Structure 1
Amino acid sequence: MRSKLLLPVALIAMMLISCKQEEDANLAENDTTEIFPKGEKITNSNFVGDAWVQMLITADSINRNSVGNVTFAPGARTNWHSHPNGQIILALEGTGYYQEKGSKKRILRKGDVVKCPANLPHWHGAGPDSEFVQLAITSRVSGPTEWLEAVTDEQYRSDHTKD
């Protein structure tokens, strides 16, 4: 009698383990889903390649900060630019780059934070093989972003990086 029960019990145990593994796989898959919507494709000339922005907070007369979720396709990047009050970048997904004029290019990964100094030209975007998602927090107290020249392919590909 005992051996007759062993097979059904073993089959039920295997099914439960299989269901648990599928549930764990689904949870892991959900960890890589977007936190915020991708937003609208950016169509101005201040970016090289494809990028999208979803404005999460727009500056107003009370809160003078804006927060945008920016998604860069592989190889996409901003032009050189500066902010009168600086900017904060929070890396959410993928691998990206950040570079200040006169400094080495930094590699950004999920969880990295950059505090861009006021009025210092810089650029940021995706690495060549990965989409990059960031939150850009920008104070609008002293005026708009000053957009400068495009980041050349040579500057982008430069191996002068700092991990």
Structure 2
Amino acid sequence: MVGSTVDDVGRDLAVFRRVTADLRPSGNEIFEGGRVVSCDVGQIAASVTAMQTTPVRSALVRFDPGARTRLHTHAGDQILIVTEGQGHVGRPGRNLRVEVGDVVVVPAGLLHYHGAGRDMPMAHLTVLFGVGTELADGHPHWPPAEGEDS
């Protein structure tokens, strides 16, 4: 599956931003003591449901400024929850800036990267369904660091 793009797998990166989420007042009886707002995040629920019999790995990962992953794929879906700083997540042809509170869903088989920006650390909690991460041959240092030529 190395070398897959969004066209190959039919799904793309999805980023859910806390600042633009369609939060609405919740009428759920579990809440008390004040107003609570929420919204459904269907892609996360769909990933978890689809992978419910698959082994799950999770980790908190902190990137120093300028540090990032190499371009790679995973055998199962990955969920990233940004817990510190600002950084980037993307795939060939698409680079997205992420910050604290953003949640990213990376579909299985999608060639992608993630990491900190040039001047600020970034940390994320990763939940990875299944086993298997493959580095992309021929693209060991893609994308270029901020400020480098592509």
- Structure-2 residue corresponding to 1:118: 108
| Residues in 2 aligned to 1:63 and 1:102: alpha-carbon distance in whole angstroms | 30
Structure-2-length-normalised TM-score: 0.57
Q: Where does structure 1 lack aligned partners over 5 or more consecutive residues?
A: 1-61
> Is the aligned partner of 1:136 residue 2:129?
no
Letter in 1 for 2:144: Q
Per-residue deviation at 1:100?
1.5
Identity %: 33
8 Å CA contact 1:99–1:123 kept in 2: the answer is yes
8 Å CA contact 1:123–1:151 kept in 2: the answer is no
Q: Higher helix share goes to which structure? A: 1
- Structure-1 residue corresponding to 2:87: 96
Per-residue deviation at 1:118?
1.2
- Structure-2 residue corresponding to 1:147: 135
| Residues in 2 aligned to 1:86 and 1:100: alpha-carbon distance in whole angstroms | 15
Equivalent pairs counted in the alignment come to: 94
RMSD, aligned α-carbons? 2.0
* Structure label with greater radius of gyration: 1
Per-residue deviation at 1:97?
0.5
Relative CO higher for 1 or 2, CA cutoff 8 Å, sep ≥ 6? 2
5 Å matches for 1:21-100? Answer: 64-100=55-91
Q: Where does structure 2 lack aligned partners over 5 or more consecutive residues?
A: 1-52
